[in-house]
Amino acid sequence: MYDFYKILEVPRNAGLEDIKRAYRNKAKLVHPDVNNSPKANEVFAVVSEAYEVLTDERKRYLHDAQLNYADATKAEAEQKKRYYGSSIKNDSYSNGNLNNLYYEWSNLKRDIYRESSDERHYRQSPVAYNLFFTSGLVVGLIIIIVTLWGTFKGYWPFPFIVISISGVILVREGWKGIMGKKNMMGKIFRRSTTKY
- Check whether residue 71 and residue 140 sit in a common domain: no
Higher pLDDT, 63 or 76: 63
- pLDDT grade for 112, boundaries at 50, 70 and 90: low
Q: Left, alpha or beta for 91 (phi > 0: left; psi -120 to 50: alpha)?
A: beta
**Among the three residues 77, 95, 115, which one is the final residue of a domain in this structure?**
115
CB 140 within 8 A of CB 171: yes
**Among the three residues 67, 94, 115, which one is the final residue of a domain in this structure?**
115
- Check whether residue 14 and residue 91 sit in a common domain: yes
**Among the three residues 115, 150, 171, which one is the final residue of a domain in this structure?**
115
CB 93 within 8 A of CB 73: yes
Residue 151 scores a pLDDT above 50: yes
Output DSSP code: residue 21: H
- Number of domains the chain contains: 2
CATH code at 62? 1.10.287.110
| Residue 31 burial (CB count, 10 A) | 15
Domain extent for 57: 4-115
- Check whether residue 135 and residue 95 sit in a common domain: no
Cα 11 from Cα 59, distance rounded (Å): 17
- Check whether residue 83 and residue 151 sit in a common domain: no
Instruction: Write down the pTM of the prediction.
Output: 0.46
- Check whether residue 88 and residue 61 sit in a common domain: yes
Cα 141 from Cα 127, distance rounded (Å): 21
Q: Per-residue pLDDT tens for 164-190? A: 888 898 888 888 877 765 445 455 555
* Percent of the chain surpassing pLDDT 90: 11
Structure confidence at residue 104 (pLDDT) = 54
In sequence order, which residues have a C-beta less than 8 Å from that of residue 54 and are 6 or more positions away? 4, 5, 8, 10, 14, 19, 60, 63
Structure confidence at residue 110 (pLDDT) = 60
- Check whether residue 124 and residue 68 sit in a common domain: no
Average pLDDT over residues 80-100: 53
Q: How far is CA 97 from CA 2, 30, 63, 102, in A?
A: 10, 25, 15, 10
- Check whether residue 14 and residue 68 sit in a common domain: yes
**What interhelical angle do 184-193 and 164-178 show, nearest 10?**
70
- Check whether residue 50 and residue 135 sit in a common domain: no
Residue 103 scores a pLDDT above 60: no
Cα 2 from Cα 106, distance rounded (Å): 10
Residue 156 scores a pLDDT above 60: yes
- Check whether residue 100 and residue 178 sit in a common domain: no
Cα 37 from Cα 131, distance rounded (Å): 25
